[in-house]
Amino acid sequence: MMHIKRSRGEILFNIINYIVLTIVMVVCLYPIWHVLMASISDNVEIMRYQGILVWPKGFDLGAYGVVMQNPAIVSGYINTLFVVIVGSALNIIMTSLAAYVLSRKNFIMGKPLMVMIVITMYFGGGLIPFYFTVRDAGLDGSLWALIVPRVINTFYLIILRTAFMSIPDSLEEAARVDGASHIRILFNVVLPLSMPTIAVLILYYGVGHWNEWFDAMIFLRTDRDKYPLQLILREILLQNTMADSTVINTDNRPDIGETVKYALIIVSTIPILCVYPFLQKYFVKGVMVGSVKE
């Protein structure tokens, strides 16, 4: 570690930087704070209030009771966990494979393949043909329909490919001289050196699966017991609007409390928020440097 005397400018910069980042934190913490405070407030008070919410309006934990009583929440959790864990694992394997192949410099099919893949980011036949394709693959009505058809996200593939390409050629050459196969180079050289990016992709894919509801809505139409958490959440959040538009609501009481909606958001969001801190340990500087030195 080197210690260099800090200039006055640097000290000033540090102070400003800390202030700026603290403001960023406050601003970014607010939405979830608002939801949390609203979820433990009194329902009528929340209906009545508009503005910034720093502390709860009244205090009532009843909303969490209502959420927990809903049996769909538990099955939703289980389905979501399956899709997040199995789905993300397959995502990472397939994406690494594709990124590795596409990042080889002396592979003449690399460029045509890349163009072919990038085109798919922009051209699609829309929902109906996609639905037929998935149905023809026999995935309709199964949780695999949420995993297999989206096993590679082209955007993430490109990110990973960029990371793979930034690994110095000398490392790969060295492994080649030792007679290593491509598979071995991928697993023993390329992947360990790309852990920060892999960690990001685990997060991106994992969060993507966690928040997914559209595919579930399309492919699990008749199988309510397979609904993931977010689809259940969405159903409840939109419940009032749906009922309002079709039927005269003659009830004298709000259908579902505002506070219940907020509690649901908390219950369905907190677990995934806890993933990132664990992945942060892969964000370590100097991995590359260490291995280059050998």
Q: Which residues 199-238 are close enough to bind other proteins by CB under 8 A?
A: 199-200, 203, 207, 211, 214, 217-218, 221-222, 224, 231, 233, 235-238
- Minimum CB separation of residue 255 from other proteins in Å reads 7
Residue length, the chain? 294
Helix, strand, or coil here: 288?
helix
Segment 60 to 89, residues that bind other proteins, using CB under 8 A: 70, 72
Segment 147 to 186, residues that bind other proteins, using CB under 8 A: 148-152, 155, 158-159, 162-163, 165-166, 176-177, 179, 181-183
Question: Whose Cβ is closer to other proteins: residue 188's or residue 239's?
Answer: 239
**What CA–CA distance (Å, rounded) separates 41 from 112?**
58
Instruction: Please identify which residue in the block is written with the tokens 């200039």.
Output: 7
Question: Whose Cβ is closer to other proteins: residue 85's or residue 166's?
Answer: 166
Is position 249 an interface residue for other proteins (rule: CB under 8 A)? yes
What does residue 138 show for φ and ψ, rounded to 5 degrees?
80, 20
Tokens read off for 111: 């460029």
Tokens read off for 271: 């677990």
Give how far Cα 258 sits from Cα of 30, 48, 73, 87, 213, Å: 18, 11, 18, 33, 21
Segment 261 to 290, residues that bind other proteins, using CB under 8 A: 262, 265, 269, 272-273, 276-277, 280, 283-289
Q: Calculate the CA 107 to chain-centre distance.
A: 32
Q: Residue 138: left (phi > 0), alpha (psi -120 to 50), or beta?
A: left
Is position 253 an interface residue for other proteins (rule: CB under 8 A)? yes
- Minimum CB separation of residue 41 from other proteins in Å reads 13
Is position 21 an interface residue for other proteins (rule: CB under 8 A)? yes
Segment 95 to 154, residues that bind other proteins, using CB under 8 A: 97-98, 100-101, 104, 106-109, 111, 113-135, 137, 148-152
- Minimum CB separation of residue 61 from other proteins in Å reads 16
Tokens read off for 191: 């992947």
